[in-house]
Structure 1
Amino acid sequence: MQPSVLLGIGLLIIGNVFSALYDVSVKWLPSNADAASFLLIRQVLSVLMMLPLWLYSGRSQTSHYKMHFFRANIGAIGGLCFIIGLMSLPLATAGALFFSGPIMIMVLGALLLKEKVTSLQWIAVFLGFIGIVILLRPTQINWFAVIVLVSALTFAVSQLTLKKLPSTENPALTLMLNNLFSLPLVCLMVVFFGELTISVDIILVALMSNIFLLIYQWFCFCAYRKTQASDIAIAEYTGLLFCVFFGWLWFDEWLDGLSWLGAGLIILPSLVLPYITHQWRKLQGHKLALAKKSHPIISG
């Protein structure tokens, strides 16, 4: 397996720890909070947090403002959808639906970016999705569930469009613009949903969740720039295991036997697939070498 793929998977797994922490933090919002106000506060705090990093990095610039604008606004739509889902559905149900994102990444990567997807990768993703259904067993399929699926789709598009940005792009600039360019749209969301709701509790939760989310986005930015999306998308499923762990740690939730089966279907493909791929390529190379020895080229 190429070092860039291993590095990308490792970065994504670390990032998923903070993604799970973000999910948990949203569940801690006070009852008087609304999704649009929380998103606006989070976006403003994101810009303020990334601004010093951007200044420290030398005020790097970009020529891809249209792509940043597109990613920022589709990310804001997805962010609002996921917040609504987390506030309205059980954490397990929302998480199960959102983790359809890696499958969308695989499919969109093959269709839009013409990335090569092997049969083993398709099998691994399919097993991972089956594991999610077994592990979390979502039972509430309603409009809130559809909203979470929309969020998963926007997540997949956002991750894939990172490939359209140059490798020299500064992550601090990308994350700052991702929040800055979406502020007008988020303000319209606040107007649509009603008046702005602000309290100390909401600000504290927004600050905490924002730290988790920015760290996650940073690791994702680095991971998806290292290799093609289809090679590492399967590692997105590890975030589900972290959700299970934090659910046990803070909410006294634990897995039954069937759930452990689901967890195995999620994590084992991520661990076994790289080894199988490496051994398959090694075997093919060995067969090719034997074929050359059996049929040498006879020169005159």
Structure 2
Amino acid sequence: MTRQRRATLAALMMIAAAFLNGLDAAIVRTLAHGVHPLIIGFFRAFFGLLVLLPWIVTQVDLRASPYRWLHALRAGLKLAALVSLFVAFMHAPLADATAINFSMPIFLILGAWLFLGEQIGIGRILAVLAGFAGIMIIIRPGVTGFDPWLLFALAGAVLTAIIQLMLRRMALNDTTDRLVAWNLLAMAPIGLIVALPVWVTPSPWQLALLALQGGLGALNMTLITRAFGMADASFLAPLDFLRLPIVALLAFLLFGEVATTSTWIGAAIICAAPLALAGGSRLLRRRFDDAP
């Protein structure tokens, strides 16, 4: 397969993953008035594990991982990030919650600077400030229309950034397959433990939606992993922002929600900040590489 065809296939995978993310948000909103978000979190992990368990058993050497408790900690944080986002999807406008979740790279930049000692220049500082400006435009704190449920989407973005920082360290001594497998294996029992205090057995219809969500989540992860293995991250990353128009369209068609002007303006600023920073970094590297 030629490089161009691989890039095209990877792009199609990312577009499909963005659509699956939109369906995920729609399923959570549909379950909002009947299933507790902690129970949704457990079944998301449980059914995702069921889908990928044959691959884990036959293809992954779990015992070779140098980590144990770190896998459990990362799985707990991942569950908390998912549940936070589910709460936002249940109560806040879907497009707003999705747009706020795009702020994760902003917190990743801050975390890498604070905890990993990475350099932060004027470009990254401006990207962070722009990202926070976009967040404020959407959340609108201190004014009429402020939606506190969006703070859960913000918490999900912060937790996801922490997870990414952990992965940077763990990936130095472990494989991607083992990191994925251990995350699924640890999330399911942790999810069950935290869901038991609020447990109400879902109806058959709710259980079917939960199973669909778990399967879509596993498929989504597989598509993204394969896509990034076939093409450059700088080419694929912007396609992730397709989630917003897809979610906005599904929210309008299924729930009658109309994304506001402030949502689109804030989302544009949040998305543009890391993209501009990445583009500027590539340009500087290209100039350096071409220098005599």
Range class of TM-score, shorter chain: 0.7 to 0.9
| RMSD (Å) for aligned C-alpha atoms | 4.1
2:71 is equivalent to residue 68 of structure 1: yes
Give the structure 1 partner of residue 85 of structure 2: 82
Give the structure 1 partner of residue 103 of structure 2: 100
2:122 is equivalent to residue 119 of structure 1: yes
Equivalent pair of 2:72/2:183 in contact (CA under 8 Å): yes
Give the structure 1 partner of residue 47 of structure 2: 45
Note the alpha carbon deviations across 1:152-205, whole angstroms, 9 max, x for none.
Answer: 222111122111223684545433322332344323322322x33222222222
Pick one of 133, 137, 157 that aligns with 2:162: 157
TM-score, normalisation: structure 1: 0.71
Q: Cα distance, 1:123 vs. partner? A: 2.5
Q: Cα distance, 1:107 vs. partner? A: 0.7
Give the structure 2 partner of residue 198 of structure 1: 202
Pick one of 176, 180, 184 that aligns with 2:185: 180
Distance change in 2, residues 1:237/1:164 (3 Å): same
Equivalent pair of 1:50/1:172 in contact (CA under 8 Å): no
Note the alpha carbon deviations across 1:62-116, whole angstroms, 9 max, x for none.
Answer: 2212221111112222222322232222323433443332221111122222233
Equivalent pair of 1:40/1:186 in contact (CA under 8 Å): yes
CA distance in 2, matches of 1:257, 1:181: 41
TM-score, normalisation: structure 2: 0.73
Read off the aligned partner of 2:170 and give its amino acid letter: L
Give the structure 2 partner of residue 22 of structure 1: 24
* Secondary structure class of the residue paired with 1:192: helix
How many residue pairs get aligned? The number is 278
CA distance in 2, matches of 1:100, 1:264: 11
CA distance in 2, matches of 1:132, 1:237: 15
Equivalent pair of 2:38/2:195 in contact (CA under 8 Å): yes
Q: Which range moved further: 260-269 or 183-192?
A: 260-269
Equivalent pair of 2:44/2:211 in contact (CA under 8 Å): yes
Note the alpha carbon deviations across 1:208-263, whole angstroms, 9 max, x for none.
Answer: 2223333444566679999xx9xx98886554344334435545655666655445
CA distance in 2, matches of 1:262, 1:149: 14
Read off the aligned partner of 1:211 and give its amino acid letter: G
CA distance in 1, matches of 2:261, 2:156: 30
Read off the aligned partner of 2:167 and give its amino acid letter: L
Read off the aligned partner of 1:74 and give its amino acid letter: L
Equivalent pair of 1:25/1:205 in contact (CA under 8 Å): yes
CA distance in 1, matches of 2:158, 2:261: 31
Structure 2's unaligned 5+ residue stretches are 1-6
Distance change in 2, residues 1:114/1:17 (3 Å): farther
Pick one of 268, 281, 290 that aligns with 1:277: 281
Read off the aligned partner of 1:43 and give its amino acid letter: A
Equivalent pair of 1:13/1:239 in contact (CA under 8 Å): no
Read off the aligned partner of 2:179 and give its amino acid letter: T
Q: Cα distance, 1:130 vs. partner? A: 3.4
Give the structure 2 partner of residue 298 of structure 1: none
CA distance in 2, matches of 1:192, 1:141: 27
Q: Cα distance, 1:55 vs. partner? A: 2.6
Read off the aligned partner of 2:47 and give its amino acid letter: L
Equivalent pair of 2:49/2:185 in contact (CA under 8 Å): yes
CA distance in 1, matches of 2:211, 2:71: 23
Identical positions, percent: 21
Pick one of 230, 234, 244 that aligns with 1:240: 244
Read off the aligned partner of 1:29 and give its amino acid letter: L
Equivalent pair of 1:46/1:176 in contact (CA under 8 Å): no
Equivalent pair of 2:42/2:188 in contact (CA under 8 Å): yes
Q: Which range moved further: 108-117 or 270-279?
A: 270-279
Give the structure 2 partner of residue 211 of structure 1: 215
Structure 1's unaligned 5+ residue stretches are 1-5, 290-300
